[in-house]
């Protein structure tokens, strides 16, 4: 028979396939500045199309999609931004995420287009992707991601450490854009910071810090943390944000190097993903883990118990943990070296 009656419903699969178009439509809306046009005002489709030089017949379903996604609000006389769009998608908003969206979509596409070959042992163009972190637009993208995500929580977590007011030096390993360093230094006027990252990254990081008025309090150290020697007994706090997973192939060695860099009684703070097998946010976790493993890493998740055991083995004592936003996956861990 040519006509078969399905036993299941294909619609859930089709819906997932269409989500790819939706994400690209949101990126296009950012690049077309639709949210800038609609900030603080309500415009009908024809008026917005005329002002933007677009075809209203094609613009209407895009606006409808953005409304369904919760990014626009449909009024009787047209469309306006939702609070979510006003906070994150308007270019002059403090927490604007446009470069972060571009970076995420571009990086994901680099992997998505090669999934089959990567499954068979192929490799992502690691050299190219690694060098990209030192490109200005990409660094701004990672900075926007931090500002729209866990930056404030991590800075609060560090500033709440016992003895913080007496700290005078911190290192931000894999610090890239440097915002975690600047946020901590803003809370303690006596502190100085060192951003530790690959040599091609730190020059731009220093420029950004100089432009933001922290040039006299921030220096950079270009090195490969996996292979190059690090300083000893210098810092009151060493911070890593979404970096420790990249060092997990020798987690004890990385933690020992961090411990050696701390003063007696100094603190190590890690901000990373955890709870891979815990209930909740399963699709987000599965997607992130697939992306991470296809890029050649063992996992993007370091479980709380695993890290605590490794910290104890190195000689850390007082350990405190706190969850943070980011799809319910974020975790902050602080551990103090013996005094």
Six token digits for residue 23: 């994400």
DSSP notation for 64-100: HHHHHTTSEEEETTEEEE-HHHHHHTSTTSTT--HHH
Q: Would the pLDDT of 130 be above 60?
A: no
Q: What pLDDT, in 10s, does the model give residues 176-192?
A: 999 999 999 999 999 99
Q: What pLDDT, in 10s, does the model give residues 68-86?
A: 999 999 999 999 999 999 9
> What integer pLDDT is reported at residue 148 of this predicted model?
92
Is the separation of the CB atoms in 19 and 65 below 8 Å?
no
Q: What pLDDT, in 10s, does the model give residues 20-45?
A: 899 999 999 999 999 999 999 999 99
DSSP notation for 4-59: ---SS--HHHHHHHHHHHHHHHHHHHHHTTHHHHHTT--B-HHHHHHHHT--HHHH
What are the phi and psi torsion angles at 2 (to 5°)? -80, -25
Q: What pLDDT, in 10s, does the model give residues 281-314?
A: 899 999 999 999 999 999 999 999 999 999 999 9
> What integer pLDDT is reported at residue 110 of this predicted model?
87
Does the domain spanning 149-337 belong to CATH 3.40.50.150?
A: yes
Q: How many angstroms separate the CA atoms of 215 and 201, rounded?
A: 16
Q: Measured between alpha carbons, how far apart are the two ends of the chain, in Å?
A: 79
Confidence tier at 127 by pLDDT (50, 70, 90): very low
- Residues 199-214 as b/e (b if ≥16 CB within 10 A, e otherwise) read eebbebbbebbeeeeb
Is the separation of the CB atoms in 27 and 66 below 8 Å?
no
Q: How many angstroms separate the CA atoms of 200 and 127, rounded?
A: 12
Cβ within 8 Å of residue 339, ≥6 positions away: 264, 265
List the chain domain ranges.
Answer: 10-87, 149-337
What are the phi and psi torsion angles at 63 (to 5°)? -65, -40
Tell me the whole-structure pTM to 2 decimals.
Answer: 0.91
Query: Which CATH architecture does the domain made up of 10-87 adopt?
Result: Orthogonal Bundle (1.10)
> What integer pLDDT is reported at residue 326 of this predicted model?
63
């Amino acid at each position: 028979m040519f006509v078969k009656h399905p036993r299941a419903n294909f619609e859930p699969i089709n819906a997932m396939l269409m989500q790819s178009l939706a994400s690209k439509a949101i990126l296009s809306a950012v690049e077309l500045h639709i949210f800038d046009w609609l900030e603080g005002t309500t415009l009908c489709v024809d008026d917005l199309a005329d002002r933007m030089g677009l075809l209203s017949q094609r613009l209407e379903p895009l606006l409808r999609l953005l409304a369904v996604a919760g990014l626009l609000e449909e009024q009787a006389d047209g469309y306006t931004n939702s609070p979510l769009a006003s906070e994150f998608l308007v270019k002059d908003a403090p927490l604007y995420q446009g470069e972060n969206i571009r970076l995420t979509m571009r990086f994901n596409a680099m992997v998505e287009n090669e999934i089959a070959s990567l499954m068979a042992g192929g490799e992502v163009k690691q050299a190219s992707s690694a060098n990209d972190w030192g490109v200005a637009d990409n660094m701004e993208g990672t900075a926007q991601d931090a500002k729209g995500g866990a930056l404030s929580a991590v800075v609060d977590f560090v500033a709440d450490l016992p003895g913080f007011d007496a700290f005078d030096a911190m290192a931000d390993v894999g610090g890239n854009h440097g915002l975690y360093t600047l946020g901590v230094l803003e809370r303690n006027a006596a502190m100085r910071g060192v951003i530790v990252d690959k040599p091609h990254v730190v020059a731009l990081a220093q420029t950004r810090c100089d432009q933001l008025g922290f040039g006299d309090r921030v220096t950079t150290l270009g090195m490969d943390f996996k292979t190059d020697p690090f300083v000893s007994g210098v810092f009151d706090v060493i911070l890593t944000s979404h970096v420790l997973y990249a060092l997990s192939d020798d987690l004890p060695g990385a933690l020992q190097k961090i411990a050696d860099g701390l003063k007696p009684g100094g603190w190590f703070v890690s901000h990373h993903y955890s709870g891979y097998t815990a209930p909740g946010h399963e699709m987000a976790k599965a997607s992130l883990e697939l992306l991470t493993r296809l890029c050649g890493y063992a996992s993007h998740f370091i479980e709380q118990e695993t890290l605590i055991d490794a910290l104890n083995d190195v000689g850390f004592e007082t350990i405190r943990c706190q969850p943070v936003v980011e799809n319910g996956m974020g975790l902050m861990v602080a551990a103090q070296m013996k005094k």
